[in-house]
Amino acid sequence: MTGQKAAKQLEQLAQQIDHHEERYRAGEPEISDAAFDEIWDSYRQLADELGVDARQRVDARPGADHSDGFVTVEHRIPMLSLEKLSPNRRDSHGELVSISDQLDAWYLRRRKDLDLAEDAALELVVEPKIDGISASLLYEKGRLVRAVTRGDGKKGDDITRQVRASGAVPERLGKRGNFEIRGELYWPRSAFGAYNEKLRASGDKTIVNPRNGCAGMMKRKDPSGLGDVGIAAFLYQVAWAEGIQLPETQSGVLDWLAELGAPVYSDEFLRAGNADAAFEYCEGYHERRLTLEFDIDGMVIKIDDLSCYDRLGGTGHHPHWGVAYKFPPEQKPTKLLGVSVQVGKSGKLTPVAELEPVFVGGTQVSRASLHNFVELERKDVRIKDTVLVEKAGEIIPQVVAVVPELRPKGTCRIKRPADCPTCATAVVEEDIFIYCPNPECPDQVRERLRHFASRIAMDIEGFGAVLVDQVVSALDVSRPDQLFSLTTEQLSGLERMGKKSADNAMAGLAAAKERGLSKVLTGLSIRHVGTSMAEDLATHFEAATALLSFAERYCDGDDDAVQLVAPDKSTDRGVIEGLARKSADSIFAELNSAQLRGIFEGLRAAGVRLDVLESQLVSVEGVDGKTFVLTGTLPTLKRTDAGDRIKKAGGKVSGSVSKKTDFLVAGQDAGSKLAKAEKLGVNVLDESTLLKMLGD
C-alpha cells in the first residue's frame, strides 16, 4: 500500500470512529462493540505503521464523546479503556489466536514486567463487566460533589445533576476523606422493560437496549423525573484518595466499598491464583449472564495487588494492570448473494447485504447492514463471499467479517454507486458517506412521508408504509402538506383501497390536523429536532409564525436572536434547554429554507394546527415564564408529574439551582439544592403552595 493510500485509509477509519461514537452517544448504534473494536484496532495498527504522533491521533483529541450543553471536566487521573482479548485477533501469519492464549501472553508479560520469580504468586481479581456507561464520582468528606462521564478518557461531561436525580449512587459514603470512585451506571432489565412498555402504550418509539437508554437518560438536559426510571450503578474502583487509608488489594477495595454502603457486585468477583483459573471463571460465567437482572458483555481481569499498578504503567490507550474478556456474540456464516442500496430520508446511501437466509440470535436473517461503502471496502466484501453475520446489540443484523479461506473463484468487488439507484442523480460524498442530493428523490420522499405519518410524529391512522408508497407513486404526493389535499375518491381508486379504507384514512388525516405544532415539527425530519426539541421549540415560540420569523432573524445574523438561543458565554443557557450553537445553526437554517416555508404554508392552508395545543400550554399567572427546580420527595406528587404541570402552566423546569431560578419546590430530604437556594435567596415552596399557584 502506498503512503498516500495508507494515509487516506487512516483518515477514513478516523471518520468511521467519529461517526459510530456519535451514533452511540445518540443511543442509535449501528454496529456491535466487537465491530467497533475491530475498526479501532485497524486504526491503531495503521497509525503505528505510519508513525503518527500520539498527540495527533483520534483518541488524543479533546472533546470526543462530548455532548452539547454539558460542562467538560478534566479527569484527575485518566479513565482509560482496558485492552481487550479479541476473538478475531490473528497472529503475524494470519492465524486466529485463541482468547486463552491471549490471556496467557498478557499474564506472562505482566510477570516479566514485575520481575517476578518463577515461583512467585501474582493473584488476579475477576469481575463481571457491566454493560452500562462509565462514570467517575468525586466524594468530599463522604458527600457526593461531582459525577463525570468517561468521555475521551481525559475529559468527560459533568452529569452530577443527572446522577443525583436518578438516585443511582449514594449521596453519602462515610464521613471522612476525599476520594474518587469509578463505576458503571446501568438500567436493570425489569425497569428498562417497564419503561419501554409505557412507551409502547403511548405509541412512542421504544429504546433499543438498556445501555443506550441509560446513556440517553444521563444526557438529559432536564433531569427531573430520572428518579422514577430505575437507573442503578455498580462501583468497582477507587482511583484516588486522600485523608483515608485504603486496602492494599483490589479485592480489599471492593469489600471496603461494600462496607461503606456503596453498590458493589461483591458476591460475584473471584480471586484467581493464575491466568488459567481466571479464564475458567470467565468461560463459566458466559451462560450465567442470561439469568442476571442486568446486562454484562464480558469480564474484567485485574492484578489484585494495587502496589503493582504504578510499576506496570500503561500506554496512551490502556493501563497494563488489567484486561477485558469480551463475551463473543453469536456469529453465523452464510453466502452473500448480492448488495442492494437503500436511500434514507436524508439522502444517505447505505449498502445492504442480500444473504442466503441464516438463523441468528433467535430469528431468520436474509438481509444485513454493511453500514457504508468505506467499511465495505475495508473488509473487502465481495459478491459470493462467505460472510459472518451477527446482531449489533442483539438487534440489528450486520455483516462483521469475510471468511477469506472460503472465498470462491470469480467473486466480484462491489463498486461505489456514481448515481442514486432510485432517481439517477449524481451522488455526492461527505466524509465516509455517499448522498443523493436530490430532495425530490422518490425514496427520500417516501421515507420522509412515512416518518411524518408515524406514531411518533403526526400519528395519521390508516397511513402505513404501503399507503404512503401508493400516494407517492400513483398520486404524485411529495410533501407532507399535500397529504391533507387528498380526497376519498383518490384514495379509494388505489389498489386494494376500498371506500371504507379510504374513509378511515381520511378520518386519520382529519384527526392529525389537530396534533399541534410540536408534532408537526417532529414529523418534518429536521436535523437535530427530535421529540424533546420539537416540544421545547413549540412551547417557547407557541406558533409557527413566531418560530419562522425568529428563524429568519437568526439566519440574518441578528445578534439578539443568536444570543437568545445560543449565548456566547458557555456558562449562560439559552431559552431552549440544551440547544447549542451548532445545532441551532442547522435547525434555523432549515426552518428558514424555501422548501420548509412552503410546507408550512401548505399545512396552514390545509387547516393543520401550527400552534401549541391549549392542553399543552395553559398560562397560569405567577407560573408562566418562571423557572422552577424540584428536589426531594413530595407528599403526593411524583416530581415528573409536578414538572409536567408546571410546564403546561407556562413555567420552566430546570435540574439545578442558579441565580435564574425563581422557585425551588422542596420535599422531604431536599439536600444540597435547598441549601444552595437558601444561599442565593431563591423562593422555597412546599407542594401545597405549588398546587395553590397552579390553581388547585
Residue among 581, 579, 680, 584 at smallest CA distance from 629: 680
Strands (E), 377-437: 382-383, 386-392, 396-402, 412-413, 428-430, 433-435
Residue pair 685/664 in contact by the 8 Å Cβ criterion = yes
- CATH number reported for the structural domain that contains residue 636 in this entry: 3.40.50.10190
Residue closest to 186 by CA, chosen among 291, 287, 293: 293
- 670 CB contacts (<8 Å, ≥6 apart)? 631, 632, 664
| Pair 350, 369 in one domain | yes
Q: How far apart are CA 432 and CA 45, in angstroms?
A: 20
Pair (249, 186) in one structural domain: yes
Q: Are residues 155 and 21 in the same domain?
A: no
Determine contact, residues 175/142, Cβ cutoff 8 Å: yes
574 shares a domain with 541: yes
**560 with 575: CB under 8 angstroms?**
no
How is residue 490 written as a grid cell? Answer: 383518490
Amino acid at 365: V
In a domain, 84, yes or no: no
The string over 407-442, giving b where at least 16 C-beta atoms fall within 10 Å of a residue's C-beta and e elsewhere, is: eeeeeeebeeeeebebbeeebeeeebbbbbebeebb
User: 402: which strand partners?
Assistant: 387
Question: Considering 512, 534, 558, which residue would you say is the last residue of a domain?
Answer: 512
638 and 501 belong to one structural domain: no
The residues carrying an active-site annotation are 129
Task: Report yes or no on 618 lying in a domain.
Answer: no
Asked if residue 497 lies in contact with residue 491, where contact means CB atoms within 8 angstroms, the answer is: yes
Query: Which of 512, 535, 562 is a domain's end point?
Result: 512
DSSP character string of 319-385: BSSEEEEEPPPP-EEEEEEEEEEEE-TT-BEEEEEEEEEEEETTEEEEEEE---HHHHHHTT-EET-
Collapsing DSSP to helix, strand or coil, 602 comes out as: helix
Sign of CA dihedral 94, 95, 100, 104: negative
Q: Which residues contact 603 (CB under 8 A, 6 or more apart)?
A: 480, 481, 484, 520, 610
Asked whether residue 488 falls in the same domain as residue 558, the answer is no
Whether residue 90 lies inside any domain: the answer is: no
Other CB atoms within 10 A of residue 330 CB? 13
- Whether residue 95 is contained in a domain is answered as no
On whether the CB atoms of residues 599 and 605 are closer than 8 A, the answer is no
In a domain, 15, yes or no: yes
Question: Looking at the structure, do residues 173 and 300 belong to the same domain, yes or no?
Answer: yes
Q: Are residues 154 and 281 in the same domain?
A: yes
Is residue 456 classed exposed, middle or buried when 0-12, 13-18 and 19+ CB atoms within 10 A define those classes? middle
Query: Does any domain span residue 665?
Result: yes
- On whether residue 461 sits in a domain, the answer given is yes
Does residue 680 lie within any of the structural domains?
Answer: yes
In a shared domain, residues 317 and 238: yes
Q: Do 141 and 235 share a domain, yes or no? A: yes
Query: Which has the closest alpha carbon to 83: 315, 401, 329, 393?
Result: 315
Number of domains in the chain: 6
The CATH number covering residue 13 comes to 1.10.287
* Whole-angstrom distance, CA of residue 540 vs CA of residue 518: 11
CATH at residue 541: 1.10.150
Per-residue pLDDT at 63: 40
Blockwise average pLDDT, block size 10, the chain, 696 residues: 75 78 59 69 78 69 56 88 77 76 93 90 92 93 93 87 94 90 93 88 74 86 88 94 92 92 83 92 81 85 94 85 84 90 87 89 80 85 90 70 88 90 90 85 90 89 88 91 94 87 92 93 85 82 94 92 76 66 87 94 95 72 86 77 80 75 83 79 89 85
Domain holding 183: CATH number? Answer: 3.30.470.30
> β-strands 652-654, 627-631: how paired?
parallel
Task: Pick the last residue of a domain from 310, 326, 342.
Answer: 326
Residues 223 and 291 grouped into a single domain: yes
**Among the listed residues 36, 316, 16, the one whose alpha carbon sits nearest the alpha carbon of residue 152:** 316
What DSSP designation does 291 have?
Answer: G
Contact of 199 with 168, CB cutoff 8 Å? no
Show the domain range for 504.
Answer: 442-512
* Same-domain status, 156 and 199: yes
Predicted pLDDT of residue 62: 40
